[in-house]
Amino acid sequence: MAAYAPDPLVLEVARALRAAGHHVFLVGGCVRDHLLGLPLHDHDLATSATPSLLTTLFPDALQAGAHFGVVLLRRNSREVQIATFRSEDSYLDGRHPDSVRFETDPRLDVLRRDFTINALLQDPFTGEITDYAGGLDDLRNRTIRAIGDPSARFSEDHLRLLRAVRFAARLSFDIHPATFAAIRALAPAIANISPERVRDELSRLLTEGHARRSFELLDESGLLPEILPEVARMKGVRQPPEFHPEGDVWVHTLGLLERLESPSLELALAALLHDVGKPPTQTFQDRIRFSGHDRVGAALARDILARLRYPNETVDTVVALTAQHMRFIDAPRMSGATFKRFVRQPVFDTLLELHRLDLLASQRPLASYDTVRLRRRQLQPEELHPPPLLNGRDLIAMGYTPGPAFAKVLHALESEQLDGRISARAQAEDFVRRFFLNSASDKAST
């Protein structure tokens, strides 16, 4: 455990609360992570001070949750969340308590929380720990355990089902058997949680480290088919052993997740979903085949991410990655123009990394990855994006009427330029004349 070094803003707030005669403790993830020697990102304080006193003592604080007595104090780049001790009644909607009572006893505040390791209190001045729920033992034993009756804790807020998995995976802890049994029993209740909240937990599962373990736990707990049935269907879908000696589509996907290192959200989602089109496209002909799984997978990825309310930009990027992850097979035979268009697209660097992970998870050499990367490096920026020799206004000046043919001729002209067959305006104008002449001849012949 790292030596206790209080945050200056935490001390400022704590001094003001102590001077007003109130209890104040650090609580939650900041205490847990300090005891585990992990970096601290957030500081949460719990206090016996009433919400009205908090707004009096800290008039510049933001109301982060007025109903729950929570304010947020920001000074320069620092931030502290301050909450009044509270207890809560039943959660009929599986999300919000029906009523909240503000308390003066810190023990009552602790016992309403989710897991024992998140319920430790720390004196902000001395670093001394107060433990009402057995969190210190569970930290030492590397165990995720719900406070009190696990079924009751998960029934209060169904998102805790996913949070248990996330903490276990990220911290490399085990989930206590009784807590895990409650997760399995209540897994269908995750459907009561808004897509946005599930999305946010899923994103953290994929990007905070240990993504493979996260999804193994989702599978073992029964949560996977509830939130991502399309991914659950990967299990048992056999692949041709000559290309995938590692196993079925699920095992292959876990192999990609295992190799993620501080990934972007888009890369992590693409690693998860790149082969989601395989289960519905599997056929048994001369061998196991998945014809068109990239196209089908792209459509499924769009449906999944839209269902989870991901931003359109994220959806479009993951769909593009899924749709194109098989294009590397054709890369050695691509013409200059096709290859340049392939590698100049904004998603290419992410697509290339996805291909590397795909190869590694398939136990295949990186020859195609290295070949494409080398060929890409040999291209100068002006080769990828040459200044256009002609535009639509130039075609009009040459006497042509605007229409669908304009886009076709300009695309064909750029292809000639990218392939190095045309480099001057006069050549471009001659190409356009021949293009329209041939088009006119084709129409006349029909």
Convert the pLDDT of each residue in 55-87 to its tens digit: 999 998 888 776 778 999 988 888 899 999 998
Q: How many CB atoms lie within 10 A of CB 414?
A: 20
pLDDT at 218 (0 to 100): 98
Q: What is the mean pLDDT of the chain?
A: 93
pLDDT digits (tens, 9 = 90+) for 363-420: 999 999 999 999 999 999 999 999 999 999 999 999 999 999 999 999 999 999 999 9
Angle, to 10 degrees, between the axis of helix 348-361 and the axis of helix 312-324?
50
How confident is the model over 99-136, as pLDDT tens digits? 678 899 999 999 999 999 999 999 999 999 999 999 99
Contact 348, 293 (CB under 8 A): no
Write the single-letter amino acid at 46: A
Give yes or no for residue 342 having a pLDDT over 70.
yes
Is the pLDDT at 140 greater than 80? The verdict is yes
236-384 shares the fold of 143-227? no
Q: What fold does the segment set 236-384 form as a domain?
A: Hypothetical protein af1432 (1.10.3210)
Q: Which amino acid is at 156?
A: E
Domain limits of the chain? Answer: 1-141, 143-227, 236-384, 392-441
Q: Binning pLDDT at 50, 70 and 90, where does residue 148 land?
A: very high
1-141 — its CATH code?
3.30.460.10
Fold type of domain 143-227: Hydrophobic Seed Protein (1.10.110)
Note the pTM of the prediction, 2 decimals. 0.91
Strand 70-75, strand 62-65: pairing: antiparallel
Residue 446 confidence (pLDDT): 45
- Could you please report the per-residue DSSP string of 178-213? HHHHHHHHHGGGGGGS-HHHHHHHHHHHHHSS-HHH
Residues ≥6 apart with Cβ < 8 Å to 415? 335, 337
Identify the residue whose tokens are 């290295």: 370
What was the pLDDT predicted at 251?
Answer: 97
Q: Residue 96's pLDDT band (boundaries 50, 70, 90)?
A: low
| Contact of 298 with 319, CB cutoff 8 Å | yes
**Residue 445 pLDDT greater than 70, yes or no:** no
Section 31-45 average pLDDT:
92
Residue-level pLDDT at 15: 95
pLDDT at 237: 97
pLDDT of residue 285: 85
pLDDT given for residue 91 in this prediction: 58
Q: What's the pLDDT tens digit per position in 204-238?
A: 999 999 999 999 999 999 999 999 999 999 999 99
Quick check: 49 and 86 in contact, CB under 8 A?
no
What are the two backbone dihedrals, phi and then psi, of residue 407, each rounded to the nearest 5 degrees? -60, -40
What is the distance between the alpha carbons of residues 46 and 93, in angstroms, rounded to a whole number?
25
Tell me if 336 sits within 8 A of 419, measured CB to CB. Answer: yes
- pLDDT classification of 329: cutoffs 50, 70, 90: very high
- Segment 274-279 shows an average pLDDT of 98
- pLDDT (0 to 100) of residue 319: 98
- Give the lowest-confidence range in 88-97, 289-298, 332-341, 354-363: 88-97
